[in-house]
Amino acid sequence: MSITSNGDRRLAAADLDSIAARLASDVAAQLAASDGDAPSLVVDPAREALAHKLIIEQIDRLRRQLIAQGHDVSDSDEDELTDRIRAHLFGLGELDRLVRDTSIENVYCNGWDQVLVVRAEGIKERVEPIVSSDEALAELIRQAAAREGRSERRFDRGQPWVSFRLADGSRLTAVRDVSGRTVFALRRHRHTDTDLDELHHLGTLGRTLAAVLAAAVRARFNMLIVGGTDAGKTTLLRALINAIGPEERLVTVEDALELQLTRHPDRHHDVIELECREQNIEGQGEVTMRDLTRLALRLSPDRVIVGEARGPEILDMFQAMSQGNDGSMGTLHARSSADAFVQITRYALKAPEHLTPEAVAVDIAASLDLVLHVHKLRDGRRVVSSLREITGYDGSRILSNEVFAPDDIGRAVYRTPWQDRSLDRLIDYGFDPSLLDVPGGGWPW
């Protein structure tokens, strides 16, 4: 074994990487032997205790070997090796280092040897590989997909893509085979417990709009947040949810749990989180967004929160909004607040109910009050760019006012008067209408 040092008894980073990988492999083999005919990726207390014991034994053995060779291992190196071995066994291996780095917002891997990170300030840079081959990368993701979340997700030739949530709330989407190489995109949610005031200070929305949205939540407006990938839809949705009183019963429906409301029980005391499940290798056991949205209505919610509608479940979300669950919310991919109506119609027309465009327009007008659009600017800042008020329908066309429209920078500012009934409703729930006269909407920049 070739060992290098940085002069203060600390092992070099390259040695820590290789040693941790080797020792993790040895411990994994011992764990597999203890599992017998039923190897497990599940981290239960007994298995974790055994792993900890084996890790200590491996490091003690390593220390004796190094002393015999005239080297040593510092206490800090032992701690680092322990963390890295555990990451290989029960985490994401060397990817854990990037996940723990709070300055990193996203991680992109276009093959094992092409790893890029995007810093919080928008800077993209290339970093060292986290594995030594595409095969090792596929295995890393396969094991993580099997143990993260509430149900095992496959990642193999028969199921060449996977998307799941990590323990810290990050979302990892990976593809193999059909992409040529194994690739993934990992998106972190840096603001997991945000509110409207914080988003105002971060520059996501102006003071006037923050006050409007706070009153709209209290007044139980049904709202839909739209925007592109990584625009900040989930962050804004969290902020709106955190304006809901802690006593209300919330049921969330998500493809993969990202909202993480149960991590903050001081904000919400009564939460049920529903997550989709993929079919097993026999093609059975699938639980879809539509299944869960319908189930949510039977759990006596005060509000239903749909993490991201991508299909016919949009109809069930509207059913929730129009059947006594006022104040419900959801997100949707769309290029603008007006484009949201096009996307909703596309999804609804795919439903087995075979609705006409005119029937879809009736559903939208009867169920939805507000559409918010969030946008990522070229400098990386995320802003609310539009707020649209639904006013009715005409045949298959949705009628609406863009009350807050983008200025020349892209920030939502007050442009078109509210309907009297909407403004009166907001005022009844604490909105100060004089804020509509604040120059520029009270944006912090």
Q: Are 197 and 206 in contact (CB under 8 A)?
A: no
Q: Given this model, what pLDDT does residue 35 score?
A: 65
Examine the domain organization and report whether 306 and 400 are in the same domain: yes
- Whether residues 280 and 145 share a domain: the answer is no
Same domain, 137 and 202: no
Structure confidence at residue 228 (pLDDT)? 92
User: What 8-state DSSP symbol labels residue 369?
Assistant: -
* 128 inside domain: yes
Residue 282: band (very low, low, confident or very high) from pLDDT cuts 50, 70, 90: confident
pLDDT band of residue 41 (cuts 50, 70, 90) is: very low
Q: Which of 66, 90, 114 is the last residue of a domain?
A: 90
Looking at the fold, whether 425 and 306 belong to one and the same domain comes out as yes
Say yes or no to pLDDT of 8 above 80: no
- pTM of the model as a whole: 0.73
**What are the distances in angstroms from CA 121 to CA 117, 130, 383, 416?**
11, 23, 15, 34
pLDDT at 40 over 50: no
Length of the chain: 445
Compute the mean pLDDT over every residue in the chain, rounded to the nearest whole number.
86
Residue 179 CA: distances (Å) to CA of 140, 160, 171, 184, 356: 17, 9, 19, 10, 37
| Exposure of 5 in the CB half-sphere (CA atoms within 13 A) | 11
pLDDT tens readout for residues 181-229: 999 999 887 666 899 999 999 999 999 999 999 999 999 999 999 999 8
Whether residues 258 and 230 fall in one domain = yes
pLDDT at 42: 45
The DSSP secondary-structure symbol of 68 reads: H
Whether 371 is in a domain gets the answer yes
Between CA 321 and CA 315 the distance in angstroms is 10
Exposure string over 115-129, b if 16+ CB within 10 A, otherwise e: bebbeeeeeeeeeeb
Please check whether residue 173 lies inside any domain of the structure: yes
Under the banding of pLDDT at 50, 70 and 90, the label for residue 2 is very low
Task: Assess if residue 257 is contained within a domain.
Answer: yes
Q: Looking at the domain assignment, is residue 1 inside a domain?
A: no
345-357: buried (b, 16+ CB within 10 Å) or exposed (e) per residue?
Answer: bebbeebeeebee
Domain final residue pick, 136, 159, 187: 187
Band of the pLDDT at 93, cuts 50, 70, 90?
A: confident
pLDDT given for residue 188 in this prediction: 81
CA atoms within 13 A on the CB side of 232: 22
- Whether residues 419 and 282 share a domain: the answer is yes
**pLDDT(77) > 90:** no
7 falls within a domain: no
Say which CATH number the domain at 109 has.
3.30.450.370
| Averaged pLDDT for residues 236-245 | 96
Q: How confident is the model at residue 288 (pLDDT cuts 50, 70, 90)?
A: confident
Report pLDDT digits (tens) over 371-414.
Answer: 999 999 988 889 999 999 999 999 999 999 999 999 999 999 99
**Span 143-161, pLDDT tens digits:** 888 777 666 678 988 889 9
For 407, the domain range is: 196-442
Q: Give me the pLDDT at residue 407, please.
A: 95
| Beta-strand pair 370-376/329-333 | unpaired
Q: pLDDT higher for 233 or 9?
A: 233
* Domain count along the chain: 3
Same domain for 47 and 171, yes or no, is no
Query: Which pLDDT value is given to residue 120?
Result: 75
- Lowest-pLDDT choice from 10-14, 332-336, 363-367: 10-14
Determine, yes or no, domain membership for 2: no
Beta carbons within 10 angstroms of residue 211's beta carbon: 22
Q: Can you tell me the mean pLDDT for 323-348?
A: 91
pLDDT at 443 over 60: yes
Q: Are residues 321 and 296 in the same domain?
A: yes
Are 274 and 382 members of one domain? yes
Side chain identity, residue 4: T
Whether residue 34 is found in the same domain as residue 128? no
Pair 330, 306: CB distance under 8 Å:
yes
- Please state the rounded mean pLDDT for residues 238-262: 91
Residues 301-326 pLDDT 10s: 999 999 888 888 888 888 888 777 89
Residues 305, 402: one domain? yes
Q: Which of 187, 208, 228 is the last residue of a domain?
A: 187
Q: Is 92 in contact with 57 (CB distance < 8 Å)?
A: no
CATH number, domain with residue 340 = 3.40.50.300
In a domain, 229, yes or no: yes
Q: Are 204 and 132 members of one domain?
A: no
| Residue % of the chain over a pLDDT of 70 | 91
